[in-house]
Amino acid sequence: MKVYVLNGVNLGRLGTRQVDVYGVTSYATLVELCEKTGALLGLDVECRQTDLEGELVGWLHQAADEHAAVVLNPGAWSHYSYAVRDACAMLDGPLIEVHISNIHTREEFRHHSVISAVATGVIAGLGVDGYRLALEHLFHRVTD
């Protein structure tokens, strides 16, 4: 099973950006975690990160064309990007929305995600472990 792990704006700054909120795990370590988890589960995992909204939309279109599963952390685009939301709605494979922090305990504007309504599931507040759990869920979707 092909799984794209797509990360949006500012996630390339993990480990240095607001470590009290996002932790000290670097983006490189997150990629390593996802790739190792995928390999253990027999998933073909490809990780990408961008600070360009249009690039993320293009990757979502690619995933839709390939009927691939997606683990998505859209970052701040979660809260207002209808372009990302509409691209997610085109997916026919499962979409797991992941947030490192608990968006529901943060600033009011972060409490709502426009992506959640088109996601298969949402994981929030479990740190980078949320990515591992998302990949395990996708594995069980196809094997159970």
4 catalytic per annotation: no
- Compute, in degrees rounded to 10, the torsion defined by CA atoms 27, 50, 121, 63: -120
Q: Given 3-state DSSP classes, what are the helix, strand and coil percentages for the chain, each rounded to the nearest 5?
A: 50, 20, 30
Determine if residue 110 is labeled as part of a ligand binding site: yes
22 catalytic per annotation: yes
Residue 124: name the closest of 92, 98, 87, 94 by CA: 98
Q: Which of 4, 27, 99, 131 is catalytic?
A: 99
Determine if residue 78 is labeled as part of a ligand binding site: no
Determine if residue 73 is labeled as part of a ligand binding site: yes
Distances (CA, A) of 65 to 1, 2, 48, 75, 106: 14, 12, 17, 23, 35
Determine if residue 86 is labeled as part of a ligand binding site: yes
Q: Which of 4, 22, 27, 131 is catalytic?
A: 22
Binding residues for substrate: 73, 79, 86, 100-101, 110
Give the catalytic positions in this structure: 22, 99
Binding residues: 73, 79, 86, 100-101, 110
